[in-house]
Structure 1
Amino acid sequence: MTSPYTELQSALSAHLPEDRLISDELRTLAYGTDASFYRLVPQLVVRVESEEEVQLVLAECARRGLPVTFRAAGTSLSGQAVTDSVLIQLGNGWKDYQILDDGQAIRLKPGIIGAQANKYLAPLQRKIGPDPASINACMIGGIAANNASGMCCGTAQNSYNTLRDVRVVFADGGLLDTSSPKSVAAFKASHGEWLQRLQALGEATRANTELADKIRHKYRLKNTTGYSLNALVDFTEPLEILKHLLIGSEGTLGFISEITYNTVPDYPHKAAALIYFPDMEAACRATTAMKPSPVAAVELLDRAALRAVQDMPGMPSDLKDLPEGAAALLVDVRGSDDQHLESNIAQVEATLEGIKTLRPVVFTTDIKTYELYWKIRKGTFPAVGAERVIGTTVIIEDVAFPLERLAEGVIELQALFRKYHYDEAILFGHALEGNLHFVFTQGFDDPAEVKRYQALMDEVAQLVAVKYGGSLKAEHGTGRNMAPYVELEWGSEAYALMKSIKQLFDPTNLLNPDVILSDNAQIHLQNLKPLPEADPLVDKCIECGFCEAVCPSRRLTLTPRQRIVIWRELQRRRQAGEPAADIDRLAEAYQYQGLDTCAADGLCSTQCPVGINTGDLVRSLRREQNFKHLDKAQWIASHFDGVTRMARGGIKLANLGRKILGDSGMSASMTGLRKLGVGAVGHWRPSMPQAAKPLQKSQPRVAAPADPQAPSVVYWPSCATRVFGVSSAAGQQEDIKAVTLNLLHKAGYRVIIPEGIDSLCCGMPFQSKGLFEVADKKQSELLAALHKASNQGEWPIVTDTSPCNMKLDEGNLLPELQLYEASEFVAEHLLPRLQIKPKNDRIALHVTCSTTRRGKGELLIKLAQACTETVVLPESVTCCGFAGDKGFQQPELNASSLQDLSREVAGCVAGYSNSRTCELGLEEHAGIRYQSILYLVDEVSQPVNRTIAE
């Protein structure tokens, strides 16, 4: 008998490409995983690119009675974005936006990341109201569907209160755009009964004084438990009720395909104070006092939270001296200008007079101190995650107490942690709203542990929802996690009202069943995610998904989170002794999805709360596979000068072939060779450059300074620039080695080239394949040569390729060496020695992943801005995906990563970066030439003192 999911896939394949209908074992598990501690594996994942496709999928699923769940970024914590049925994922076509009313509003598609929306608004000093901690990864669709808030937005600036309009597809396929009179008129004609019913529900609710008062009380607090019943008391117009019910509905009432927010001010002037109190009661009293004052955020940290971060690098030493029972408030104040900021600070300080603190209250505007204070606050959650026992998960719960009873609630919560032996639990949160997060570690592989968790949550529910009348979910959404407790918190009358809302919008329970409302009292204890020990490199992963937004393979195969998910599953199967055939089948699929298409660029570590570089795992696994090639790699390393000469000869031969066969002919020829088993040839790239000139032939235009007292610098041309020359269309243009020498000479530097340069390499080509011994040997050789050339570290050392500089810097055992990537050296040392006449051009700039990881991105941007009027940073590109030889072996990775590049750089006359291999891929997919930023600097610069060059 044919499965209904097979039938569904067949029906959808008549309208959607096969690559957007995903049912294989590996990807359904990987794509179906979210940040919660639940695991459900979808039968089918459908990537949709339009409202019409959403309507199609809903219709076909309804025809077969198959539930659907919508997924944006999958950073939700409460189990609202997982399913064992049909998962509808956002494809790449949901990124449009429109700024309205000079920035007073913004219209957004659901696939836009929250932080990106704020980048669009930043020039207007505006932002969207919601500011969840996951804003750099979560998408607008999820922010709205969960009514996510955060540290500064409180309740006044959340999605519910900043909503202007919404566009939505309903379970029955109906479409409504509340900003369009035509759409509204059509909806009233087709769904008039809905609006009448909503109007009646609103009238009945407002007439029920006791229930209406309860709803108003509940939404005086942060509250995402259940549906947004405040819509029934806040509005009388049924269309407004409908709009606001959708906020926080977690995809159970409809698919939000567009939302228009009223924006809020984004004040540029900021100050913060970290204030220590002797006990929680004093901290909460101070919070209450500051409630009416002009604070942007007040973040509460208990002593356990402060203890969790006190040993992290850079933390203030006085954290360790705080007494047991102490608490802290991080107070953030902002203003439109310095005077406004000072006025606001003065008002806040006045409210704190008379409240005992352990240290004087001091606000700082120093950016480093300001960021340190926020690092303390943001480091608490990952600190627990990093120290947890392997195999346990990190749970972050999210409650809100009435502010006037916050201190009592905190003390009783802490008593519950002690009662159930959650000794590592910490408390922190958004104190102004009475919103607390408590974080603890939990194992689910032992029934006794599950019972302990259940007992804790049962008591927490009674304490928060019943005793104090608070919210069990203040901002993380109800999901499966809190669905069994919704009626306990709200009472039977309000719960029945919620059920009637769900019945109205989704009578067949098609949309995300068991989320928000569930008849299963055990739903929060079922389908718990296993987290087996897999590898020390990734065992601390909490599967939050923060890494995904920066991964170059995110739209091709797997993301870092998903690579870890599948590796964990492989280890679980092995540990459980499951059939070898099942393990081998998954491992075989993982080879391409997980290993071959990973750029191993390390950008994931920059976003990971616990600092995991999934590329380290991938390289480790590649080592196991490539160890058999160790002898060959050692031979290559020992004959590196000859190998690079052969590579240049190969490029010359390939370009000769291009003249005869053309790009298509070369592509076909290489495809034929690969089919014959000659895999080393890779794929033909139309951006294949000319072969580089040998260093001895790279004659600079600018002569070296004649002054024997001129400062010295060591120039180390990378093997990439010793092999790959200028673009094939560049004619006789100088190569990067000559350009680098030009600039150094212009600035009056005497340049030293290390001895034996043609045989030197940083080791990265070997490290990327997991051949660490060979990589370390080459790196040691290079360090020794640079140590000698720089007179034991006396003179700075410059290389012309960013990834090579990072590789050498990371493993540098000679700290006396002054290592610089060329653009960094130009920005910091050459610009004061050069006259710059900026061009009146619009250029594109690619900040390489290695530049980002080294924290030098802003320096590169400032250098470009010093040389030209307009600098464009393509918003979709984090890493180009060329990744050394990946651009030749898996060109689809490069193509996927840069699929939006040509649109984003439209109107630019040229593109610049600081890595030759990256520039090859960028040039091919951008439609404009990319080359080193040094070319631009050379073009617009002259020596400050012309006699230097002369």
Structure 2
Amino acid sequence: MSLPATFLQQVERLIPRQRRFDDPLSTLAFGTDASFYRLIPQLVVRVESEEEVVQLLQLASAERVPVTFRAAGTSLSGQAISDSLLIVLGDNWNGREVRNQGAQIRLQPGVIGAQANVALAPWQRKIGPDPASINACKIGGIVANNASGMCCGTAQNSYHTLAGMRLVLADGSVLDTEDAASVAAFQASHGELLEQLARLGRQTRADSELAARIRHKYRLKNTTGLSLNALVDFDQPLDILSHLLVGSEGTLGFISSVTYHTVPDHPHKASALLVFPDVDSCCRAVSVLKSQPVSAVELLDRRSLRSVENKPGMPEWVRGLSAGACALLIEARAASQSLLHEQLAQIMDSLADFALEKRVDFSEDPAVYNQLWKIRKDTFPAVGAVRETGTTVIIEDVTFPVEQLAEGVNRLLALFDKHGYDEAIIFGHALEGNLHFVFTQGFDNPEQVARYQAFMDEVALLVAVEFGGSLKAEHGTGRNMAPFVELEWGTDAYQLMWRIKRLLDPLGILNPDVVLSEDPQIHLKHLKPLPAADELVDKCIECGFCEPVCPSKELTLSPRQRIVIWRDIQARQRRGEDTRELERRYQYQGLDTCAATGLCAQRCPVGINTGDLVRKLRGRDANQQWRADWLATHFAATLSAARLTLRAADGARRLLGAPLLTKVSSGLRTVSGQRLPQWSSAMPQAAQPLRIGAPAGDARPRVVYLAACVSRVMGPAFADPEQMPLIDKTRALLDKAGFQAIFPERQDNLCCGQPFASKGYAEQAERKRQELVDALLEASRGGLDPVYCDTSPCTLRLLQDGLDPRLKLFDPVKFIREKLLDRLQITPQQQPVAVHVTCSTQHLGEAQGLIDIARRCAREVIVPEGIHCCGFAGDKGFTTPELNAHALRTLQDAVQHCSEGLSTSRTCEIGLSQHAGIDYHGLVYLVDRVSRPRA
């Protein structure tokens, strides 16, 4: 059914065009969450204020338009998709307020969970929920799904740590439970609703059998259905209402902000891994650990251990475990090291009588416990990585009573065998009896769907009926388990949920068919296809973990969305459909605005670098081979031409003045169809050509200085107070530390190949890379001398495809950290500095090193939150400046009191300087300024 014309007209008046999406590419891109369902919304609206939400809900109520809310879309059970109106959060939902020295925190729904914990870190506090997706999921989803996690259990979830809530009901009414005026107004306008909630509470508490069942269900980890415990835990209707919203998955209202009681984040921790010979003894140990001072106990069956045993970095002993082995990963935390050691001794004493097949003792060494947790965290992606193309990865989430955990595990294993899910694995939060099981499933034909249906029917009977457990412990009911809510809860509790739904959403417009559905087959409909697209991305499970680090997210497409659209294009082409219009739109949205820096791969559970796909597709369209060949062969002339262009631009600036040149440049760019670059005041002046004579009689240690082509071409901007070029500043610092700089022969003809690779010219890129490697070997006397590269992207380019082992290559951070600091006396400056950790620095593993050096050189260091990639991406800042502007849209506010910014990439510094309002320089400028030779 189409959306009513009157509704669309009113939405057009309310929401600007750039925040409304109804074209086929955008709606398909937003029609995906992390689940195995897909619905294509008719309209997507990005909201930036509560008032917009209120007005949209009022319009939707008037026209009976179904509405779904989405925060990050990492939900696993189909909660965040719609075939009607999808409301997504924009930038302005990122507010957070820490209260009472961290005892409470008030958060808007767009705050990423991990960001909330960063805000609380100075007080050694954190929010209670700790879902595995905490680096990507947002507070809105965490609360709406009552997400928990590995250490959270039931005591620290959103329901039990809720201190206050601001919410919007289906009719557009607003209630802030922490605002007396708001409460009074709501009581006046919605007194009848509050009385009905109070009456439902009294009736439920008076029904001893129902009340006992509710209390029993929430003794376990449980997110199946609505939060009926609100009716027995509270008698005040405002408390009932706010706690009903927790876990309601957007079916009862919109959560505009939430206040948490925070929990301690103890600084001292240790982890151990104990492998038991069988499931039974492993689960008996869980029962013992339930009364011990442990913060997490994760169970891994032999199948899950087998799924990761051949991954790089895994201990050799994992491969040698017996067929029936079952492991517990145990973590303990404490406020002091002495208390931690006391707890560890107590824990191990409690398990002294258990036979163990393998034991990795408690360790406080980050290298050890990170490796142990890597075993646990790699299990889910391991299944995704081996799945057959075209199938999806399904992760289910059940709870057994802990005393029946062993039998529950064995019965699940038997169901896997019965239905042929040979790849399925089990792991989970054992202290709560909460098990995740992961398997792969195709939905290409009725037989596959029938197999899934038969399996899920048996799982539901096993868990909910036979064991009295929960079909959803922490992932939310969604549409996945909606048909089984009555089976688990019984008819009276199920009808109570419907009474609540109809009371708060009488028109049924809020997220229909989620949590509660009258369609018993809803879990078998709208199943998401995952067709083959390209071997580089076919393992994508569309979880969205990649999205927070993508600079083009919300400008055009995120990595997840790029893959979704490319999959659809390939599937349409195989069906013989005309995809030219879709491909035309994808050119800009998918390819032109992708920075291709590969940060998405660092967040992806299966390691997908969507930038590799983008470069491959650019290479497919790279039809200027002759031009790339000429540029590669005549690279010195290319650099000369680039310097000439910069001199011409600076001459125009001198003639016209910077403001007028900016305006003229913008007009010329528009007239040229966006082909001419945009000039800005941060544009560099031309650097002088590098002229270096051979040193004579210098006995100091040699360093081969590889000056990147951008360093050789681009000098400081005209308005930058720091007018010494990067090469001269670096040479001065090396000289101060007692090194002599040696330059390769014919340096102006050398290039790492990155400019060619980013445009899809792989052959020319590799040729230039090899030329450079040969020149560096010659200059370094066969690798005898270290090689210093002054730009981190070039360093990464040389290293990522495997460098000649004779070469010792350093980026600025690593060289300063390992070679210079011990030779310099540092006196840190008082003025605060901002640090931008480039994508390449992150890939090189030097992010913390850069921040540590900055903190050694300045009293105050600011690392702006949420800026992972600047979006300049080589030359994208010139050719697609909107990408750079979008990626850095929050930068100026974050660094406004800093005197200077630091980076390790000259091109990144151009965009950073333009959008920050302060000048960004290479790290060497700060180090040189605050240092003198050590005596």
1:402-441 aligned at under 5 Å gives the runs 402-441=401-440
1:876 Cα shift?
A: 2.2
1:492-531 aligned at under 5 Å gives the runs 492-531=491-530
1:663 Cα shift?
A: 3.7
* Residue 330 (1) aligns with residue 329 (2): yes
Give distance in 1, aligned partners of 2:823 and 2:5.
68
Does structure 2 retain, via aligned residues, the 8 Å contact 1:9–1:21? no
Q: Which runs of 5+ in 1 are unaligned?
A: 946-950
The code of the aligned residue for 1:335 comes to A
SS at match of 1:869: coil
1:205-244 aligned at under 5 Å gives the runs 205-244=204-243
* Residue 761 (1) aligns with residue 751 (2): yes
Hey, what does 2:617 align to over in structure 1? 621
Q: Deviations over 1:576-635 (max 9, x none)?
A: 222x1xx11111111110000000010000000000000000000001111x10110110
1:270 Cα shift?
A: 1.0
Give distance in 2, aligned partners of 1:332 and 1:451.
41
SS at match of 1:839: coil
Hey, what does 1:684 align to over in structure 2? 679
Q: Deviations over 1:414-465 (max 9, x none)?
A: 0000000000000000000000000000000111010000000000000000
SS at match of 2:493: helix
* Residue 86 (1) aligns with residue 85 (2): yes
Hey, what does 2:787 align to over in structure 1? 797
Q: Deviations over 1:94-140 (max 9, x none)?
A: 01110011100100000000001000111110000000000000000
Does structure 1 retain, via aligned residues, the 8 Å contact 2:720–2:919? no
Give distance in 2, aligned partners of 1:690 and 1:289.
70
Hey, what does 1:894 align to over in structure 2? 884
Q: Deviations over 1:315-352 (max 9, x none)?
A: 11111111111100000011112101101111211211
Hey, what does 1:591 align to over in structure 2? 587
Does structure 1 retain, via aligned residues, the 8 Å contact 2:15–2:45? no
SS at match of 2:428: strand
Hey, what does 2:8 align to over in structure 1? 9
Does structure 2 retain, via aligned residues, the 8 Å contact 1:763–1:776? yes
1:289-438 aligned at under 5 Å gives the runs 289-360=288-359, 362-438=361-437
Hey, what does 1:869 align to over in structure 2? 859
Give distance in 1, aligned partners of 2:911 and 2:666.
19
1:805-816 aligned at under 5 Å gives the runs 805-816=795-806
Give distance in 1, aligned partners of 2:201 and 2:720.
70
- With over 3 angstroms needed to count, the CA separation of the structure-2 counterparts of 1:731 and 1:75, relative to structure 1, is closer
SS at match of 1:133: coil
Give distance in 2, aligned partners of 1:596 and 1:385.
29
Hey, what does 1:604 align to over in structure 2? 600
Give distance in 2, aligned partners of 1:824 and 1:423.
46
Give distance in 2, aligned partners of 1:118 and 1:813.
39
Identity between Structure 1 and Structure 2 (%): 58
Does structure 2 retain, via aligned residues, the 8 Å contact 1:32–1:40? yes
1:7 Cα shift?
A: 3.6
Which of residues 868, 886, 890 is equivalent to 1:878?
Answer: 868
CA RMSD of aligned residues (A): 1.5
Give distance in 1, aligned partners of 2:246 and 2:849.
41
Q: Which runs of 5+ in 2 are unaligned?
A: none
- With over 3 angstroms needed to count, the CA separation of the structure-2 counterparts of 1:519 and 1:837, relative to structure 1, is same
The code of the aligned residue for 1:638 comes to T
Give distance in 1, aligned partners of 2:371 and 2:778.
39
Does structure 2 retain, via aligned residues, the 8 Å contact 1:823–1:934? no
TM-score by length of 1: 0.97
Q: Deviations over 1:227-252 (max 9, x none)?
A: 01111111111111111111000001
SS at match of 1:274: strand
Q: Deviations over 1:742-779 (max 9, x none)?
A: 11111111211000110100000010011100000000
- With over 3 angstroms needed to count, the CA separation of the structure-2 counterparts of 1:449 and 1:127, relative to structure 1, is same
More deviation in 856-865 or 336-345?
A: 336-345
Give distance in 1, aligned partners of 2:530 and 2:590.
18
1:504-903 aligned at under 5 Å gives the runs 504-578=503-577, 580=578, 583-626=579-622, 628-671=623-666, 673-674=668-669, 677=672, 681-696=676-691, 708-730=698-720, 733-903=723-893
The code of the aligned residue for 1:624 comes to R
* Residue 910 (1) aligns with residue 900 (2): yes
Give distance in 2, aligned partners of 1:718 and 1:9.
53
The code of the aligned residue for 1:691 comes to A
Give distance in 1, aligned partners of 2:346 and 2:100.
32
1:258 Cα shift?
A: 0.3
Give distance in 1, aligned partners of 2:54 and 2:721.
53
Give distance in 2, aligned partners of 1:491 and 1:676.
67
Give distance in 2, aligned partners of 1:7 and 1:687.
47
Does structure 2 retain, via aligned residues, the 8 Å contact 1:132–1:151? yes
1:667 Cα shift?
A: 4.1
Q: Deviations over 1:783-842 (max 9, x none)?
A: 000011111111111111111110011123412211111222011210000011110111
Give distance in 2, aligned partners of 1:631 and 1:359.
61
Give distance in 2, aligned partners of 1:162 and 1:16.
35
Give distance in 2, aligned partners of 1:813 and 1:5.
61
1:666 Cα shift?
A: 3.0
Q: Size of the alignment, in residue pairs?
A: 935
1:673 Cα shift?
A: 4.7
The code of the aligned residue for 2:809 comes to L
Does structure 2 retain, via aligned residues, the 8 Å contact 1:783–1:812? no
1:147 Cα shift?
A: 0.2
Give distance in 2, aligned partners of 1:852 and 1:159.
33
1:6 Cα shift?
A: 4.6
Q: Deviations over 1:653-675 (max 9, x none)?
A: 10111122234543454455556
SS at match of 2:624: helix
- With over 3 angstroms needed to count, the CA separation of the structure-2 counterparts of 1:678 and 1:643, relative to structure 1, is farther
Give distance in 1, aligned partners of 2:83 and 2:720.
55
Give distance in 2, aligned partners of 1:311 and 1:361.
19
The code of the aligned residue for 1:534 comes to A
1:555 Cα shift?
A: 2.3
- With over 3 angstroms needed to count, the CA separation of the structure-2 counterparts of 1:43 and 1:663, relative to structure 1, is farther
SS at match of 1:726: strand
Does structure 1 retain, via aligned residues, the 8 Å contact 2:681–2:717? no
Give distance in 2, aligned partners of 1:675 and 1:192.
57
- With over 3 angstroms needed to count, the CA separation of the structure-2 counterparts of 1:707 and 1:377, relative to structure 1, is farther
- With over 3 angstroms needed to count, the CA separation of the structure-2 counterparts of 1:461 and 1:319, relative to structure 1, is same
Give distance in 1, aligned partners of 2:466 and 2:762.
59
Give distance in 2, aligned partners of 1:710 and 1:439.
60
1:9 Cα shift?
A: 3.0
1:80-159 aligned at under 5 Å gives the runs 80-159=79-158
Does structure 1 retain, via aligned residues, the 8 Å contact 2:77–2:477? yes
1:212 Cα shift?
A: 0.9
1:685 Cα shift?
A: 2.5
Give distance in 1, aligned partners of 2:95 and 2:928.
38
Does structure 1 retain, via aligned residues, the 8 Å contact 2:813–2:846? no
The code of the aligned residue for 2:306 comes to R
- With over 3 angstroms needed to count, the CA separation of the structure-2 counterparts of 1:6 and 1:766, relative to structure 1, is farther
Does structure 2 retain, via aligned residues, the 8 Å contact 1:393–1:542? yes
More deviation in 494-503 or 183-192?
A: 183-192
Hey, what does 1:948 align to over in structure 2? none
Give distance in 2, aligned partners of 1:199 and 1:671.
62
Does structure 1 retain, via aligned residues, the 8 Å contact 2:548–2:866? no
